[in-house]
Amino acid sequence: MSPSPQPWVGHRILPLVVIDEPKTVLPVIDALGQGGLSIIEIALRTPAALRAIEMAADHGGMTVAAGTVTTVEQVRNAIDAGASFGLAPSSVLPVMEASQSAHWPFIPGIATVSEAHSAHGKGFGFQKVYPADLLGAEKFARSIYHTLPEINLLPSGGVTQSTMETYLREPNVFGVSGSWIAPRDLVAAGDFGEIARRAREASEAVESLG
């Protein structure tokens, strides 16, 4: 079966997770699932990240994304590890072209209207706004909507439980990405119960939006 061209569709929250020990990824997945989430974004920020992606993909029942993809080599490695799609904090042309050549679903990052317009012209209708909190939050998303309403945005950077709902009310925001549900310190401490609680709280908030 060929991968979905947009595996992120239907997921309003993409929990970003930084993994230092590969063995912790499975209890994190279980905690997210208990909270009603079926997707995980594993950031390529540690030596353990690719192994964690492999383990998460083998686990099944969870859409697994590779986050913080910044090089062509990382595109190849993430694909080999089994990631369903990738996300980047930037819109670097070689990285975008590598994902397209591999037919790997990809969400580049943008921080200006010019970057959004350019990435859309290269075929990327779904884009990550980063760092969203420093760019004006929902006001930035609104400005993109007024000029380029066909672009679908994923705010990331400083997103919290309290700001999530504000973002998701914008017509061009399809989801949010953030680390508040499974932050690095909770993962390291093995506090998977708290991660499950935060996932449940976020899921219920999304459901209340309709």
For the beta carbon of residue 145, count every other beta carbon within 10 angstroms: 16
Alpha-carbon gap, residue 156 to 132, rounded angstroms: 5
Of the candidates 159, 176, 156, the one whose C-alpha atom is nearest the C-alpha of residue 168 is 176
Please confirm, yes or no, whether 139 is among the known catalytic residues. Answer: no
Please confirm, yes or no, whether 97 is among the known catalytic residues. Answer: no
Catalytic residue among 97, 115, 122, 128: 128
Catalytic residue among 21, 23, 41, 207: 41
Residue the block writes with tokens 């697994």:
64
Amino acid at residue number 37: L
Cα 57 to chain centroid, rounded? 15
> End-to-end alpha-carbon separation of the chain, Å?
31
Q: Which residues are catalytic?
A: 41, 128
